[in-house]
Amino acid sequence: MLDFTKPLYVLAPLAGYTDLPFRSLVKQFGVDLTVSEMISANALVHNSQKTLHMLKKSPLEIPYAVQIAGSNPDVIRDATLILNDFDYIDIIDLNCGCPAPKIVNNLSGSSLLTDLNAMGKAIETIKKYSNKPYTSAKIRLGFNEKNHLEIAKVCEQSGSDYIAVHGRTRSGRFKAPVDYDAIAEIKASVSIPVIANGDIDSVEKSNWVLEHTKCDGIMIGRAAVGKPWIFSQIKGLEDIDEKELIKKAVIEHFNQMITHYEDYGAIMFRKHLHTYSKGGYMGASAFRDKINREDDPKAMLELIKSFF
């Protein structure tokens, strides 16, 4: 189902952004693999309705990965067993990179990089109980210091079928320069496929990273927000006239938000409109001002139609 004989293009999980409406839109622009927002294994086990809603996928998303965060083996096992009931999920991914204090303080996300024993155990647990074709992990290069080769080896030995590597340490957060050499070292040291991630924002950069790291694919997060067609450009699928396309894409994204979140989707869409309206539109700041005060979906749609 995952074809690693050619580069795999992946949409990174971005909590608060890569929900069903956004993933569905990006999928139309040719991305090969989409991943849910991070889902707390604990919340899943406690049957949170909001969490179950987050698991939903668009029919276009084949294959589809769900990312969980956690470390307690019993909780990870129970979360995996719950995910087993959703036959449309193809991959369970473990978050080993989130730097947020509330995640780190629970030995989840990037703090797993400080306890590779616990990280390995969590991956092994998913692998053991999952009925999905793939188990994966998304890692950083280390917590404070880089120990990326050791981390990657533990992922491989614990049963990860592939890994995605954000080329920074936890202390590098989202700003330190991405170390593509370190990603290349990982690729050379393991025999499972490796997906490179971090600051890939153009066709040229994507090609360069693939060439430089020899990785099996690339993963893009922030550069796809406001520009979901970046994947069509990278894959050379079509020559896109951004201005012509944006109106159609924004309206479709908005409609999907209302379908998925009902009226509250209008408020949630504001942040996307801020990004879409960047790029030389006349009156963009007045538009942002208006949509910040608008919460009625019909009125917001009219504002969108007349602005773009």
The least distance separating ligand FMN from the CB of residue 98, rounded to whole angstroms, comes to 6
Q: Give Rg (Cα) of the chain.
A: 19
The least distance separating ligand FMN from the CB of residue 218, rounded to whole angstroms, comes to 9
Instruction: Verify whether residue 98 is a known catalytic residue.
Output: yes
Strand-pair partners of 194: 163
| Amino acid residing at 38 | M
Site string for ligand FMN, 60-99 (x = CB under 6 A): -------x---------------------------x-xx-
Nearer to ligand FMN, 31 or 98 (CB): 98
Q: CA 177, CA 300: separation in Å to the nearest integer? A: 38
- Is 132 a binding residue for ligand FMN by CB under 6 A? The answer is no
- The size of the interface with ligand FMN (CB under 6 A), counted in residues, is 22
- Is 19 a binding residue for ligand FMN by CB under 6 A? The answer is no
Place of tokens 């050619």: 6
Binding residues for ligand FMN restricted to 248-307, rule: CB under 6 A: none
The least distance separating ligand FMN from the CB of residue 201, rounded to whole angstroms, comes to 7
Among the listed residues 96, 98, 155, 215, the single catalytic one is: 98
Helix axes 297-307 and 242-261, enclosed angle (nearest 10): 180
Query: CA torsion sign, 114 to 67 to 264 to 288?
Result: positive
* In contact, 120 and 114? CB cutoff 8 Å: no
Q: CA 138, CA 157: separation in Å to the nearest integer? A: 15
Site string for ligand FMN, 94-123 (x = CB under 6 A): -x-xx-------------------------
CA angle 220–4–222, rounded 5-degree value:
5
> Per the structure block, which two tokens stand in for 287?
């538009």
Q: 168, 199, 3: which is closest to 98 by C-alpha?
A: 168
Site string for ligand FMN, 184-223 (x = CB under 6 A): -------------xxxx-------------------xxxx
Q: CA 105, CA 64: separation in Å to the nearest integer? A: 28
The least distance separating ligand FMN from the CB of residue 296, rounded to whole angstroms, comes to 27
Of 2, 7, 8, 37, which one interacts with ligand FMN (CB under 6 A)?
A: 37
- Is 21 a binding residue for ligand FMN by CB under 6 A? The answer is no
In sequence order, what are the residues at sequence separation of 6 or more whose Cβ sits closer than 8 angstroms to the Cβ of residue 247? 305, 308
Number of residues in the chain:
308
The least distance separating ligand FMN from the CB of residue 298, rounded to whole angstroms, comes to 29
Nearer to ligand FMN, 204 or 296 (CB): 204
CA angle 199–98–136, rounded 5-degree value:
85
**Which residue's C-beta sits nearest to ligand FMN?**
221
By annotation, the residues acting in catalysis are: 98
Binding site for ligand FMN (CB under 6 A): 12-16, 37-38, 67, 95, 97-98, 138, 166, 174, 197-200, 220-223
